[in-house]
Every structure is written in structure tokens, then in C-alpha cells.
Amino acid sequence: MRIQVNVNGEPREADVEPRLLLVHFIRDTLGLIGTHWGCDTSNCGACTVHLDGEPVKSCTVLAVRANGHDVTTIEGVSSGADLSLLQQGFREARRGRGPGLRDGARGGFPGARRRAWGHALPFLLLRMHAGLRG
């Protein structure tokens, strides 16, 4: 099935299978790897994107559902060539740096939970971005 989706403000078209998940469309078809598939249970939020401005877990949404709609990923929250503050925070967190991540929130979690916290950052940052926009 051919779908047309506005991703991060750009119209994108592709042929997809009706059962393809939006997370795989974003990562595999479009090559946008900021959206993660982290837990196989839809609990972690690593796959969160905005669908028409509302946060959704893209591991639970079929790509065909996004046909004709707007999708914003973590890559799309900047307003130009420079990283937004949210993207900078995401980058620093993925590197294990930044306030509270080295010795605060992240430092208190053992192995698996620390990795899960890192995967959940797209969800947290996109939720913060939505809240800041109003």
C-alpha cells in the first residue's frame, strides 16, 4: 500500500505492507534512527513520536494509520541546523553526561534499568517538547 506521511515537516511517500509498524517505517524505511524500539511491550516509550501533535507509541501504531497525517520524531524538534535544547539533552544523556544523569537520576539505577532509562529519553523529551509548546 502506498502511503504519504509528513515527517518532521517533509512529505514522504513509500510503499508499505499493511502490517508494518510505524516505528519500523520511521527507522527502516525513512532512516530516522532517533526513534527506538526498546522493550517489546510498549511500556518504555522509546518509540514515542507525535502523530498530529499527540504523543503515540509508534510500536503500537501501524504505518498505514499515519497516511495523510503529520509525524514528528526527536529529529524534528529543532528549528534549523542547530540542535534544540531537548536534542542536546538527549545527546548528552545518551553519552552518559549532563546534569543529574551521571550522578543523579541515572546513576542510581543498576544496569538494565539504566539502559531502559536511556531508551525512554525520546518519550520524555517529546513529552517535554509538547508541554513547552503549550
Q: Which tens digits make up the pLDDT trace of 109-128?
A: 444 444 444 555 566 666 66
Q: Please give the pLDDT value at position 28.
A: 96
The yes-or-no verdict on residue 40 having pLDDT over 80 is: no
Confirm whether pTM is higher than 0.85: no
Q: Please give the pLDDT value at position 32.
A: 94
Contacting residues for 94 by C-beta, under 8 A, at least 6 apart: 118, 121
Domain layout of the chain by residue ranges: 2-133
Q: How far apart are CA 30 and CA 99, in angstroms?
A: 32
Q: Please give the pLDDT value at position 98.
A: 52
| pLDDT single digits (tens) 6-34 | 999 999 999 999 999 999 999 999 999 88
Give the helix/strand (H/E) hosting 71.
strand 70-72
Provide the H-helix boundaries in 4-110.
22-24, 85-94
| pLDDT single digits (tens) 61-113 | 999 999 999 999 988 876 666 776 766 766 676 665 554 444 434 434 444 44
Residues found in the chain: 134
CATH architecture for the domain at 2-133:
Roll (3.10)
